[in-house]
Structure 1
Amino acid sequence: MEETIGVTSAAQIPKQRGEALLDTAVRYAEERHWDVFPGTWLESAEGAEQCSCGDTACASPGAHPAREDWATQATGSATVARRLWQKQPTASILLPTGRTFDAIDVPETAGFLALARMERMELTLGPVTCTPDRRMQFFVLPGATAKVPDLVRKLGWPPAAIDLVTLGEGTYVAAPPTRFGASGAVQWACRPTAANRWLPDAEEIISPLAYACGREARR
């Protein structure tokens, strides 16, 4: 059963329950052709959950790469993905950026404001995640990291003045239903569907994102 948190009709967040990480990782590789790789996971220790990396002060418990060569471990093969999660069924699902997509990362409040504006503007959206640390990540075509700073400047914002980060080659995002410590799970604000298989270019959605982040900055 899925529950949704209504924000706008375009921004409903399904709470995914009871879905095996293995099945989900395989589906991302098989249906979306996304590279996937297993990250760390949560372990019970003295009545609490902590990251499998063993660092009690871990900044992203249960949701970061488990090995340094994660970029070479990432696979687009459903068969390999199944084998990887069979070894560690509770491993987080991480998606490398800069390959089939980049991601534009913004604060949650700005992200929902931008989603509402995008809906009114009838813009085409790709998948969008919402993380337990109150960030939203908008999937766009690769190459956004090179474009976004200049696009933001053209809209009248110094890039350093607003909380808008582009994730490209060498970075990654955590995919639903990966859990972040005690905070909850990554969820979809806009789910992957057949309609959003073709991602927008960063240029198509940067205006409402920069506007929303600019409003946040003024606060």
Structure 2
Amino acid sequence: MLVVEDTIGAPRQLTGQLLDTAVRYAEESHWEVLSGTWLEDEHGGSPRCSCAAPACPAPGAHPTRPDWATQASGSAVAVRHMWHKQPRSSILLPTGRTFDALDVPEVAGCLALARMERMDLPLGPVICTPGRRLVFFVLPGATAKVPDLLRRLGWPPSSLDLIVRGEGDYIPAPPTRMGNSGSVQWARQPTALNRWLPDAEELLSPLAYACGREAAAVRSR
């Protein structure tokens, strides 16, 4: 069973916590941070995204403007300014800068995570999303190398539900609340010990195996 860690990424959606957490990501983890959309609670109904799109694909957790990549900042002053403008904003972390991310289904991610720990592989932070995904932080550059690495391992990239998030993409960070599903949480929180991220190649074999196993299980149902 996955145990999420309730420290930096506690699931409480408090405006002060969002600001404080976003600042800590910038100051302590040295990540660039971006404020995103937020959820508007409806009386007697489901929360809706602040973008007001009726079929929003990521309610409460996407950028608010098309030039979002230029707005992200690692400056604590800039981050405070973002959340003072809108305290309920979600916390988004652009990928392809200080880290890339390997995004896999939760079942496969938990299986791979347990195997990685048994193998004593180096691990960076790991996020658990309400959409039942696990997101592993790795060194930048994963987008370019992962498809070839998967082929060498015998896995056609299109056969696996393994998404590489790199330049031009982003991930929601704890404690961002997403739709009706809950809040983003840490499966493995950022610490001084895991600041040095693994290369994607170090984690890809257990992740590919777990994703392949999950895909086979889905097909057999």
| TM-score in same-fold range (> 0.5) | yes
The Cα of 1:17 is off from its aligned counterpart by 4.3
The Cα of 1:83 is off from its aligned counterpart by 1.1
Select the residue among 205, 209, 212 that pairs with 2:210.
212
Matched ranges for 1:127-142 at <5 A: 127-142=125-140
Matched ranges for 1:11-26 at <5 A: 12-15=3-6, 16-18=10-12, 20-26=17-23
1:58 alignment partner in structure 2: 56
More displaced 10-residue stretch of structure 1: 40-49 or 25-34: 40-49
Distance in 2 (CA, whole Å) between partners of 1:212 and 1:131 is 18
1:119 alignment partner in structure 2: 117
Matched ranges for 1:173-212 at <5 A: 173-212=171-210
Equivalent pairs, count:
210
Whether the aligned pair in 1 keeps the contact of 2:11 and 2:183 (CA below 8 Å) is no
The Cα of 1:46 is off from its aligned counterpart by 4.0
Whether the aligned pair in 2 keeps the contact of 1:12 and 1:190 (CA below 8 Å) is no
The Cα of 1:106 is off from its aligned counterpart by 0.4
Taking structure 1 as the reference length, the TM-score comes to 0.93
Counterpart residue type for residue 78 of structure 2: V
Whether the aligned pair in 2 keeps the contact of 1:141 and 1:200 (CA below 8 Å) is yes
Counterpart residue type for residue 134 of structure 2: M
Say which structure is richer in strand. Answer: 1
Distance in 1 (CA, whole Å) between partners of 2:132 and 2:180 is 13
The Cα of 1:44 is off from its aligned counterpart by 2.1
Counterpart residue type for residue 191 of structure 2: T
Whether the aligned pair in 2 keeps the contact of 1:126 and 1:140 (CA below 8 Å) is yes
The Cα of 1:14 is off from its aligned counterpart by 2.1
Distance in 2 (CA, whole Å) between partners of 1:78 and 1:111 is 32
Runs (5+) with no aligned partner, structure 2: none
**Identical counterparts, % of pairs:** 68
Distance in 2 (CA, whole Å) between partners of 1:178 and 1:47 is 22
Larger RCO: 1 or 2 (CA < 8 Å, sep 6+)? 2
2:76 alignment partner in structure 1: 78
What whole-Å deviation, never above 9, does each CA across 1:150-191 have from its counterpart, x for those lacking one? 111111110001111100000000000001011000010110
Taking structure 2 as the reference length, the TM-score comes to 0.92
The Cα of 1:28 is off from its aligned counterpart by 0.1
Secondary structure at the aligned position of 1:116 is classed as: helix
* Cα RMSD (Å): 1.1
Distance in 1 (CA, whole Å) between partners of 2:19 and 2:176 is 11
Secondary structure at the aligned position of 1:12 is classed as: coil
Secondary structure at the aligned position of 1:129 is classed as: strand
What whole-Å deviation, never above 9, does each CA across 1:25-74 have from its counterpart, x for those lacking one? 00000001100000000012343310000012111100011111110000
Secondary structure at the aligned position of 1:170 is classed as: coil
Distance in 2 (CA, whole Å) between partners of 1:53 and 1:198 is 36
Secondary structure at the aligned position of 1:126 is classed as: coil
